[in-house]
């Protein structure tokens, strides 16, 4: 499929048009569709089917572990976290994690191969070196971490030094993600997260010398006291640090939903126009510095494995975001964590109290989830192909799901005409392909195939799509 000759550019007007909310599609159906009727019994059945080899997916596992603790509160945060200086709470939580790991592996079977491990939070580096070491011992006892497994951990730069980074590398972590958000001192004060540029610079230099294979940094635009000029300065500083990957998220101010955000002075928030200017400048700046837009909010260097996976059609997506790993099952441990096994999704209890209570009863602490229907699986295949490969070949989907694509998705294809006219997709009789410009709006394209989506964009259920 060839892109038409007409040239299109990303204008601020186009960004304004798609300044709307929508799913991130780390899954389809999305987590808001999960139901309470999906519980421990249904989840353990899915584990048992995998153990018996009765599912089609026997690829190595991915594992996500949620560590909810932080030492101090970041006012912008919308994560499931616990702010405490009482470390004994973390020790109790680690004991609960071991119970959950034991329960899940009892149903799944021992020493399953794992090709991807991610520790998120909260701040996983809230946990001290000795206890992280013990957690890794438990994981290695219960699972077979493959020699080339991607092992990543989110890092609060305020909680680590070079010695801690050395210890993380010795534990087997080969990928790290630094939460930066912004380098401007006034912005850092306004969001209650002070971490000077020089501190992060020293840590990233140490991480490279220690031998971490990939370094990611997270930024947020739309924070209080930010301006297009101040955020442009932060971008310059990030580019100077030269991380392998950069994630840029738009801040969604929802104080009625997330209590920490009530501490933010709304009069200090940038205007919608200023946010759009920040995003527009970020897109052009990173592209000019050799970063490739992977999709969603993610950029990577041309030599990064994510870029290579995208260019070769091997990009995948799961609850951890974009991944180079094949689309296997994801085991999730800890409060609020979300997993995928076979044709099911599941989510753990969101509070430690409920999480602990279910574990004490000998139950895996699942409180909701979903068993996917045949139509869910079909639409998931289409949406993930758009989000990851940026291309739909009608014949391929028809062969896998025994449908006639143009008949099944007649209405959706009609809605795609506007994206074709705007230069976001190229279409012909065999399928359609997301253009270079269209990748910046890929969520909007994928949303056309979401049968559950309520196009009331004022409901604040989802983040902005760009």
Average pLDDT over residues 249-276: 91
Question: Which residues have C-beta within 8 Å of that of residue 7, sequence separation ≥ 6?
Answer: 423
Flag whether 187 is in a domain: yes
- The mean of the pLDDT values for the chain is 91
CB distance 388 to 445 below 8 Å: no
Q: Which residue has the tokens 């850092």?
A: 188
Do 325 and 410 lie in one domain? The reply is no
Average pLDDT over residues 402-416: 96
Average pLDDT over residues 413-429: 95
Flag whether 435 is in a domain: yes
The SS3 call for residue 37 is coil
* Cα gap 421→418, rounded to integer Å: 5
Do 314 and 277 lie in one domain? The reply is yes
Flag whether 398 is in a domain: yes
Report the CATH number at residue 174: 3.80.30.20
More confident residue, 238 or 24: 238
Q: Which residue has the tokens 């270079």?
A: 436
More confident residue, 283 or 359: 359
Percent of the chain with pLDDT over 70: 94
Flag whether 347 is in a domain: no
CB distance 346 to 43 below 8 Å: yes
Do 167 and 297 lie in one domain? The reply is yes
Do 450 and 303 lie in one domain? The reply is no
Identify the pLDDT of residue 8. Answer: 56
* Cα gap 233→227, rounded to integer Å: 10
The SS3 call for residue 41 is helix
* Cα gap 328→389, rounded to integer Å: 17
pLDDT at 325 over 90: no
Q: Which pLDDT band holds residue 56 (cuts at 50, 70, 90)?
A: low
CB distance 216 to 244 below 8 Å: yes
Identify the pLDDT of residue 314. Answer: 87
Number of separate helices (H) and strands (E) present in the chain: 17, 19
Do 280 and 401 lie in one domain? The reply is no
pLDDT at 391 over 50: yes
* Residue where one domain finishes, among candidates 274, 300, 333: 333
Number of structural domains in the chain: 2
pLDDT at 6 over 70: no
Identify the pLDDT of residue 3. Answer: 37
For the stretch 91-148, pLDDT in tens is 999 999 999 999 999 999 889 999 999 999 999 999 999 999 999 999 999 999 999 9
Do 109 and 98 lie in one domain? The reply is yes
Do 37 and 15 lie in one domain? The reply is no
Flag whether 232 is in a domain: yes
pLDDT at 78 over 90: no
Average pLDDT over residues 412-416: 96
More confident residue, 19 or 138: 138
Q: How many CA atoms lie within 13 A of 155 on its CB side?
A: 26
Average pLDDT over residues 358-362: 96
Do 61 and 155 lie in one domain? The reply is yes
* Cα gap 115→325, rounded to integer Å: 8
Q: What is the pTM of this model?
A: 0.90
Q: Which residues of 45-63 are buried (b: 16+ CB within 10 A; e: fewer)?
A: ebbeebbeeebeeeebbbb
* Cα gap 229→249, rounded to integer Å: 17
Do 119 and 222 lie in one domain? The reply is yes
Question: Which residues have C-beta within 8 Å of that of residue 236, sequence separation ≥ 6?
Answer: none
Q: Which pLDDT band holds residue 316 (cuts at 50, 70, 90)?
A: confident
More confident residue, 293 or 8: 293
Do 88 and 45 lie in one domain? The reply is yes
124 backbone φψ class: left, alpha, beta (φ>0; ψ -120 to 50) = alpha
For the stretch 82-100, pLDDT in tens is 999 999 999 999 999 999 9
Q: Which domain holds residue 415?
A: 1-29+374-466
Flag whether 464 is in a domain: yes
pLDDT at 293 over 80: yes
For the stretch 157-193, pLDDT in tens is 999 999 999 999 999 999 999 999 999 999 999 999 9
Do 391 and 311 lie in one domain? The reply is no
The SS3 call for residue 24 is coil
Q: Which pLDDT band holds residue 5 (cuts at 50, 70, 90)?
A: very low
Identify the pLDDT of residue 280. Answer: 83
* Residue where one domain finishes, among candidates 333, 352, 384: 333
In the 8-state DSSP scheme, what is residue 99?
H
In the 8-state DSSP scheme, what is residue 27?
S
């Amino acid at each position: 499929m060839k892109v038409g000759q007409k040239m299109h550019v990303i204008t601020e007007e186009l960004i304004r048009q798609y300044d709307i909310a929508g799913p991130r599609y780390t899954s389809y159906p999305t987590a808001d569709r999960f139901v309470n009727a999906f519980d421990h019994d249904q989840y353990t059945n899915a584990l048992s089917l995998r153990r018996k080899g009765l599912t089609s997916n026997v690829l190595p596992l991915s594992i996500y572990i949620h560590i909810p603790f932080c030492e101090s509160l970041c006012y912008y945060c919308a994560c499931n976290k616990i702010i405490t200086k009482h470390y004994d709470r973390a020790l109790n939580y680690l004991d609960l994690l071991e119970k959950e790991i034991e329960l899940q592996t009892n149903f799944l079977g021992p020493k399953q191969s794992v090709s991807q491990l991610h520790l998120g939070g909260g701040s996983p580096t809230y946990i001290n070196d000795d206890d992280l070491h013990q957690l890794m011992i438990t994981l290695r006892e219960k699972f077979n971490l493959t020699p080339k497994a991607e092992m990543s951990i989110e890092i609060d730069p305020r909680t680590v030094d070079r010695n801690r980074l050395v210890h993380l590398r010795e534990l087997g972590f080969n990928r790290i993600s630094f939460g930066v958000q912004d380098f401007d001192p006034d912005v850092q004060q306004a969001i209650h997260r002070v971490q000077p540029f020089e501190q992060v610079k020293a840590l990233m230099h140490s991480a490279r010398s220690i031998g971490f294979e990939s370094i990611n940094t997270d930024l947020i635009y739309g924070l209080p006291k930010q301006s297009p000029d101040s955020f442009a300065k932060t971008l310059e500083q990030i580019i100077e640090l030269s991380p392998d990957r950069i994630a840029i998220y738009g801040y969604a101010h929802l104080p009625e939903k997330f209590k920490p955000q009530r501490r933010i002075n709304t009069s200090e928030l940038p205007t919608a126009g200023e946010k759009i200017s920040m995003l527009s400048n970020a897109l052009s700046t990173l592209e000019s510095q050799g970063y490739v837009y992977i999709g969603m909010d993610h950029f990577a260097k041309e030599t990064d494995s994510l870029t290579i996976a995208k260019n070769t059609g091997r990009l995948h997506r799961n609850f951890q975001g974009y991944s180079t790993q094949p689309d296997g099952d994801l085991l999730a441990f800890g409060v609020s964590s979300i997993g995928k096994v076979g044709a099911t999704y599941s989510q753990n209890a969101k509070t430690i109290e409920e999480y602990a209570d279910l574990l004490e009863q000998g139950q895996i602490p699942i409180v909701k989830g979903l068993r996917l229907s045949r139509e869910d699986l079909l639409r998931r295949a289409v949406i993930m192909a758009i989000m990851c490969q940026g291309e739909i070949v009608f014949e391929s989907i028809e062969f896998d799901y025994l449908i006639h694509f143009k008949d099944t998705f007649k209405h959706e294809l009609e809605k795609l005409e506007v994206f074709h006219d705007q230069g976001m997709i190229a279409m012909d009789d065999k399928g359609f392909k997301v253009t270079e410009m269209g990748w910046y709006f890929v969520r909007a394209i994928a949303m056309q195939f979401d049968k559950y989506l309520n196009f009331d964009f004022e409901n604040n259920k989802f983040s902005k799509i760009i």
